[in-house]
Structure 1
Amino acid sequence: MEKEEMSYWGNSSEQILVEHFPMHRACRDGNVCLLSSLLEAGVFSPYEEDQFYGWTPAHWAAYFGKLECLRQLIMSGVNKDVTTQRFCQTPAHIAAFGGHPHCLLWLLQAGANINAQDYLGETPIHKAARTGSTECAGLLLAHGAKSSLCNNNGMSPADLARNQGFHECSQALLQAQAQLQSQQNGFQHTNGVHVNRLSRKRGLDAECEVEGSKRTRSDDQEEMEEDCVMESADTERVASSAQHSSGNQPEHEPVSHKEKSSHRHYNYPSVFIF
């Protein structure tokens, strides 16, 4: 803290931090070496909340923009979405409220819940809107934050920014929300047209396939009947020639056209598989 903030903070409050919340103090000051030694000693819990704001050390690191301390805590096993008991706020809430996009970005890349709601129903993007942090708001939007989500008072982040007097931030949020809505509507329309066209194409393909199958079966059947007639005629000519050459009657009667067709069915069953 600055000297003027220190005087406002008071020596008694600082002494409480030194004696009872040294891990919080290390995160406030960005003292990575002290934080590491405190974590190794295990005397103080990284989940303990201070008596001033009800924050854990991770919340202090996020608020004061001490990325290395925040990384040290999360890498040591502290939950990146650790939630305060009093206000149900995560480090992402506090980083956005403090206007520290570098801490916020690291938390998001580590998998922090971007749309977690606190006791007011507010997400990190609401906190960015409260303090007019356009950079944090843009970062959250780029990672999929819900800009249309309202808090318990029915206010969206854009409403909240405008209510706090941050008109530039409010306008940016409104534009992002309108652009997202336009993209969603465009996707639904395009997807619907694509599905309808695909359905019609599949229907036409199915009809063509059925007609083609019918034509194939008809052509095969006609061709086989012609073969049967030709083979029957050939058989009769051969039998007649044999009869004239020998002068004797054939031992068996010639096979009729109907019988010949039945024999053909038996000998070539694969032809009739439709």
Structure 2
Amino acid sequence: MQPLCDSDCDGLSALMECGGAVNSPGDTMGQSPAHLAACGGQAFFLLWQLHTGVDVNQQDCFGEAPIHKAARSGSMECLSLLVASDARIDMCNRDGHTAEEVALSCGFIDCARYLATVKLTQDTFSRAQSSMHDLKETAAQLKRGKCCQSVSHGKRRRSDGFV
């Protein structure tokens, strides 16, 4: 079963008029106003939601987060906003599909490429950070080891070799 996507502005207006919280499931499918904004490609409304503290990774009854909805509608603007807000691009929906795979299946090649590039960049950055952390740890261990060798009974060695 393919998740429904209400791109009608009236649905968003109704959710806002009822005064629900930004992270509350606004409809029977568990879709928040952010889900509907992303699905409808309404980047301005989504940006407003992001500024009010919406959970960008909240899943609806289909296991889809707003990033899946933006990918399904082919909205590069909404995808960009969600990625910039630290949406998990590796999150799978109930059918096991990521937003990239959803974009591909809906024929939005540019959106799928964008998400693939972001994922590659995030993975590369994560590996680089991990390598830098390992180097810092090794340097700290070497420094501690060298420091301990130069101390004898709590006293520093003199340059002439006497303690």
TM-score for both structures, normalised by structure 2: 0.83
Secondary structure in 2 matching 1:103? helix
1:156 maps to what in 2?
98
Query: What stretches of structure 1 move > 3 A for 4+ residues in a row?
Result: none
Residue 200, structure 1, aligned to residue 152, structure 2: no
* CA apart distance, 1:180: 0.6
Show the counterpart of 1:130: 72
Question: Is 1:96 matched with 2:48?
Answer: no
Equivalent of 1:182 in 124, 132, 157: 124
Does residue 61 (structure 1) correspond to residue 3 (structure 2)? The answer is no
Q: What residue identity is the alignment partner of 2:24?
A: V
Is residue 107 of structure 2 the alignment partner of residue 169 of structure 1?
A: no
User: CA 1:210/1:91 → structure 2, altered by over 3 Å: closer, same or farther?
Assistant: farther
Counterpart of 1:188, as a letter, is: S
Normalising by structure 1, we get a TM-score of 0.51
Sequence identity (%): 32
| Structure 2: runs of 5 or more not aligned | 1-8
The answer (yes or no) to whether the contact 2:39–2:70 under 8 Å persists in 1 is yes
Q: Alpha carbons of 1:210 and 1:90: their partners in 2 closer, same or farther (altered >3 Å)?
A: farther
Taking a change above 3 Å as real, the CA distance of residues 146 and 62 of structure 1, as seen in their structure-2 partners, is farther
CA distance in 2, matches of 1:81, 1:62: 15
List aligned pairs for 1:262-273, cutoff 5 A.
none
SS at match of 2:151: helix
Task: Look up the SS of the partner of 1:128 in the other structure.
Answer: helix
Bigger radius of gyration among the two: 1
Aligned length: 153
Opposite residue 177 of structure 1, the aligned amino acid is: K
The structure where helix makes up a greater share of residues is 1
Distance of aligned partners of 1:96 and 1:85 in 2 relative to their CA distance in 1, 3 Å threshold: closer
1:217-274 per-position Cα deviation (integer Å, ceiling 9, x unaligned): xx68xxxxxxxxxxxxxxxxxxxxxxxxxxxxxxxxxxxxxxxxxxxxxxxxxxxxxx
1:80 paired to 2:32: no
From 133, 153, 156, the equivalent of 1:191 is 133
CA deviation string 1:173-209 (max 9, x = no partner)? 1111111111111110111111111111122112223
Task: Please tell me whether the aligned partners of residues 83 and 89 of structure 2 are also in contact (alpha carbons under 8 angstroms).
Answer: yes
The residue type equivalent to 1:138 in the other structure is S
CA distance in 2, matches of 1:88, 1:201: 54
* Bigger relative contact order, structure 1 or 2 (CA pairs below 8 A, ≥6 apart): 2
